[in-house]
Structure formats: C-alpha cells, structure tokens
Amino acid sequence: MTFSTLGLSPDLLKAVADSGYTAPTPIQVQAIPVILNKQDVMAGAQTGTGKTAAFALPILHRLAEQSGAEDSADCRAIRALVLAPTRELAQQVYNSFTDYGRYVALRSAIAYGGVSLTPQISEIKAGVDILVATPGRLLDLMFKGVVDLRQLQVLVFDEADRMLDMGFIDDIKRILKQVPKERQTLLFSATFDSAIFDLSKTLLRSPQLIEVDQRNTTARQVEQMVYAVDADRKRELTSYLIGSKNWHQVLIFTRTKQGADLLAQEMCKDGLKTESIHGDKSQGARERALEEFRQGELRVLVATDVAARGLDIDQLKYVINYELPFVAEDYIHRIGRTGRAGASGLAISLLSPDENWLLEEIEVLLDCRLPQQWLPGYEPDLTKESAVSRKNSRTSQKRRAKERAYGKNTDKRKR
C-alpha cells in the first residue's frame, strides 16, 4: 500500500514524501479513505500509530479542495477544529498540520492555556482554516468572541479518553453547543470505556469504527524490561543504569509532581543533568526544559504522566518507569514516547515489591507477561517483600473475582 492509492492530492503526497514516510501505517490505511468520504470515525489508536497524519492529511485534502475565497483572510473561517487534552499534544498536532500542509494554501493556528491570549487572538483574527486547541482556552476565546465556529465542517477529538480523564466533559459540552450539527466528527481514543461510548453517542452519526491492532503500533518496537528493586534503591539503580550504559536523553516517569522534583534534584547530585516537568511548572519553564532535552543539553527529563502527554521527541530511545502508573493505560502512553514510527526503544520499569499488583494490571492490559529480572547488587530484599506484596496480590485477586461475579470486567481492558 502506498500513500498515492489513498486518494490524497499531489501537494499532500509531496509533503508526506518530505517527511520521509514511505508507506502509510495501518490506521492511515483505514482512516484516510473514510475521512475523505466525509464519514464520522471512531478510532481506537494509541499515540505512535501515526494517528495524527491519519486525520490531518484527509482534513487538509478536503479543505484545500474546496474552491472559493480561502485566499482572502477576510473570508477565511474555521472549518476544522481539533480538540486536544494538553498543550504538548496540541502543539504536536499543530506541527503536523503545518508540516503536511506546507504546499497547500491553508492556515492553521494553535490555542492553549497558560500563556498570554494576545498572540493567539491576533493569529486567529488574521483568519485561519484549521484551529488546534485545548478545551479551556478555546472556551475563553469563544466567550471573547474571537472564535466563531459556525462554519465548522470537521471536528476532531484527539485522545478523547484523556480529555475525559482530565475532567473536560463540561467544557466539551459547552463547545458542542456552538458548533453546527451538520458536520463530520472524528473521535480518536487510546482506550474505550463506557464514558467514551456515552460521549460518542451524542457526538457521532453512524461512525465507522476503526481499530488498529495494538500489536501493529510502534509499541512493538519497544523492548520492555522490568527490574525488581527495593523502593529505597530505585534512585541509585536509575543513576547506575544511565551512567554505566552511557544513556543520553532518558525520559523518566514518576507518579507525583513532588516525586519528579525530588528525583530531578537527586539525579543532579549524581552528576546527571536533569530537569523535571509537571503541571506546577510554568509553561515557559516546561518549554525550556523540553527544548534543552530535545537538543541533548539535558541528559534526563523527569515527568509526570500529564506533563508528558503528547511529547514528541524524535529518536527518544529510553523511557524509565520509576514508579508504575496507577492506571495501566498510562503505561502504554509512557512507553509510546519511545520507539516511535519504526525506531527502536527501550522501556525499563523499576518494580518495588508493593507494585506487583500494578504490574499484573499492565500485563492483563497488554495480554502478555513482562518477566522480572534483578540486576546484581540491586536485588530486592525478599524478607521485606512478603507482607505488602501478598496483601496487594490478594486484594487484586479479590477485586478481579468480584468483577467477574458482577460481570464488570473493566471495558478498558477488553477494548
């Protein structure tokens, strides 16, 4: 399969070739023709599958094809809106639209919170065809009368599950009141649970359901390793791994903001240049840290799940789960930061005895075992392990038995 058989215009094919893509990914093969055909889509696709191009390319094609007055700024209207949960993801989507749209006469703009409204207002007022926005900032702009969605033709929800997790449902409902009922709606989500299905019922009309096999995602290129280690030796092991293996550009996940800050400080003491990013840091500080990390000036970046959402770092090779996430799906998002689009990656999870039950949940979700290993010198103290892990494992078993009894094995896992 090639991009040219998918029905995209020569301008877009040229941009795709510039990006170095030789063949469409499975989600692109399935979604592009359906979107070009103006149908609604409900797509199950994780990050790393090429989902952004799967909606950006056909949207650019559709809008560029429409004849008329698009060339004049006065006549431009927002015809496509992409809603994304975080600024980082919004930025990544916006970059994709500008990259793929470099040979078509369409304008895109981005709007997210935490930064001044003024430049975003001037950009939008200059006339845009495509707007990528986080829900809160979009509402601000709508209330100010800067954004008019009456001409909207395509509405995209990117990472819809995350938007709901982050509590954007009321914002979404408010936005929906202002968009035309006659429109194409595309919903992308890494997971499907009842909340997503409820939302989809009010949003989509006879959607085409597209699901790419999880094994077709780039997660397959990610080697996953689990090191069992005591919690109080995790920091030492992390520094040892990074230092002894001479890793550069390592992204580490912690569960909490305080944990991220503390770890970053400790890593610096170990001589590894490290910064942390999380929701309490200013947008400027986050962007600076990211840029330094991208440029290779920063060896290690410690992030919380929300802060790392949407991070797109080319060639990122190493991800360390310093603590396993409480939500198993977050594991997939985390390791999806590496091994992107064909490159190889390594995801290491540091597992303390009290986290065994979290690993079990991840294994259920992935439908595969992640064998544990010990690094000589960092073996966990098994005498400490027993009580906590036995209790957790029993709790976990009990919960699963209960779920079976009530027939409510979580939908997320079933997908």
Which residues make up the interface to ligand AMP (CB under 6 A)?
21, 24-25, 28, 47-53, 312, 340-341
* Calpha distance 258→234 (Å, rounded): 16
Residue 315 is given by DSSP the state: T
In the beta sheet, which residues pair with residue 372? 226
- To the nearest whole angstrom, how small is the minimum distance from the Cβ of residue 116 to ligand AMP? 27
Q: Are 13 and 4 in contact (CB under 8 A)?
A: yes
Nearer to ligand AMP, 94 or 357 (CB): 94
- To the nearest whole angstrom, how small is the minimum distance from the Cβ of residue 105 to ligand AMP? 23
Nearer to ligand AMP, 25 or 321 (CB): 25
Q: Are 271 and 341 in contact (CB under 8 A)?
A: no
- To the nearest whole angstrom, how small is the minimum distance from the Cβ of residue 149 to ligand AMP? 24
* Calpha distance 243→270 (Å, rounded): 9
- To the nearest whole angstrom, how small is the minimum distance from the Cβ of residue 334 to ligand AMP? 14
Burial class (CB in 10 A: 0-12, 13-18, 19+), 213: exposed
Q: Which two tokens stand for residue 20?
A: 């170095």
Nearer to ligand AMP, 56 or 242 (CB): 56
* Calpha distance 179→369 (Å, rounded): 45
Residue 208 is given by DSSP the state: E
- To the nearest whole angstrom, how small is the minimum distance from the Cβ of residue 343 to ligand AMP? 9
Nearer to ligand AMP, 28 or 349 (CB): 28
Nearer to ligand AMP, 48 or 207 (CB): 48
- To the nearest whole angstrom, how small is the minimum distance from the Cβ of residue 48 to ligand AMP? 5
Amino acid symbol at 51: K
Tell how strand 41-44 and strand 184-189 pair up.
Answer: parallel
Q: Are 270 and 237 in contact (CB under 8 A)?
A: no
Nearer to ligand AMP, 23 or 405 (CB): 23
